[in-house]
Each structure stands twice: as structure tokens, then as C-alpha cells.
Amino acid sequence: MGVRDNLMRLRASVPEGVELVAVSKFHPVEALREAYDAGQRVFGESRANELCAKAQAMPEDVEWHFIGHLQTNKVRQILPHVSLVHSVDSERLLRLIDSEAARLGRKVRVLLQLHVAMEETKYGFTPDELIGFVTPELLAGLDHVEIAGIMGMASNTDDEERVRRDFRAIRDTYDRLKAGALGGHDEFSIVSMGMSHDWPDAVEAGANMIRVGTTIFGEREY
């Protein structure tokens, strides 16, 4: 099966209203080109250098999403190319994106990354941290970032109940923010969760953006 067929089949099963981010990290530009020719415009990358190189090689109308851990020293490099950063996992990173976006004279859309999975990681806010972090004072101080939603991952486990619980926790956190500090912010509208193996559960729990790589492009060779 080629990229085109994989993509068409996937598209046929993703419900309307759910945005598909084609996660193309580690795949060559030829594979992205095939997806592009099949109509895909939104691509996700997780490394700054790779995103920039591919942005140069692909048509202008591609929307690039940054989905990996973003090091602060890479912010300046990627901002000119990205339309959405999924992975804002610290106040420091958020404030740096704000000031770099100001320098560029544009607004940058970001998602705040939540950590609910059972795996240990230092990236992402817990739900309670995030609720405490997003205050009217914080929002008032950010002129050049737009908090467009949240992003998260479920535990990497066969325990489907756990996976569903993780997705529900992400969606609940979105709803709490929407009912709280981000109420009235219309642009706060994205719940990005679900990957190749678990996106149907994510959609069931309320995802409106999914990030799918392997199902479209095949296994990655790291």
C-alpha cells in the first residue's frame, strides 16, 4: 500500500470536523509529496531542523505543525515556518514564543501540552497545574501568542480502559479551561489527541484534531 491509499482510507474513516495532522517526521520529502498530491496540507514534525528543511522543499501552502518537545534555542528557527505549536510544556517556552513572535510582528498559535499518561516524562503540565497556570493575568501578558487549545497523549498500554480514561482527562481539562480562564476566547477550540493506534478512542472522547504518522507513512526508521 502506498501513502496515497493509506491516506484515502484513513480519511474515509475520520469523522467530519476532526482535523488530520499527517505526522511525517523521519520520512523523506518524497513521501510528504505523495500525501500532498493526495490533498493533504497539514503536516506534523517533531524536530526543528527537519521541519525547516522540509518547509523549504515543500509547497508554500503546507501548514506545518510542530509536535515534539521544543527546545528554547530552536524557537527562533521554527517560528517563521509554523502555523501551530502543539507542544508548549512550560511557562518559559510560552513566554519565549510570545517575545519571538513579537519580534516577527505576528501572532503564533499554540496548544498547551498536558501530561496524563502513566509514563514518566518531564514534559507537559498536569491537569491541575494547567488550570492553575492559565489565569486572566497570564493571558493579559501574552500579546503575540494565541492559546488555541490543548494537546495530550494517552498511556502507551494495551489497557483500553486506561487509554480512554486518559483521553477523557485531557478533554475534561479542556472543558474546565473553556469554562474558566479561556471562556469567551473563541480561538481556544482545539483538542489534539490520538495517534495511529488510538485515535478512534480519542475521537470518541472528544478530540477534534488527531496526529497520525505510521498509518499514513508506514514505520519510521530512526
Ligand X SMILES: *Cc1c(COP(=O)(O)O)cnc(C)c1O
d(CA 174, CA 184): 13
* 149 scored as a contact of ligand X (CB under 6 A): no
* 211 scored as a contact of ligand X (CB under 6 A): yes
Report the residue number whose CB is nearest to ligand X. 213
The C-alpha cell that represents 218 in the structure block = 508506514
Backbone angles phi, psi at 119, to 5 degrees: -65, 145
Among 22, 23, 112, 114, binds ligand X (CB under 6 A): 23
Q: Are strands 63-66 and 19-23 parallel, antiparallel or unpaired?
A: unpaired
Among 20, 67, 114, 207, binds ligand X (CB under 6 A): 67
Stretch that binds ligand X, among 4-12, 74-82, 166-174, 191-199 (CB under 6 A): 191-199
* CB closer to ligand X out of 7 and 67: 67
| Alpha carbon distances (Å) from 99 to 17, 76, 86, 119, 159 | 32, 10, 18, 32, 42
d(CA 123, CA 100): 21
* 191 scored as a contact of ligand X (CB under 6 A): no
User: Which residues, 80 to 109, sit near ligand X by CB under 6 A?
Assistant: none
* Contact footprint for ligand X (CB under 6 A): 23, 25, 46, 67-68, 195-197, 211-214
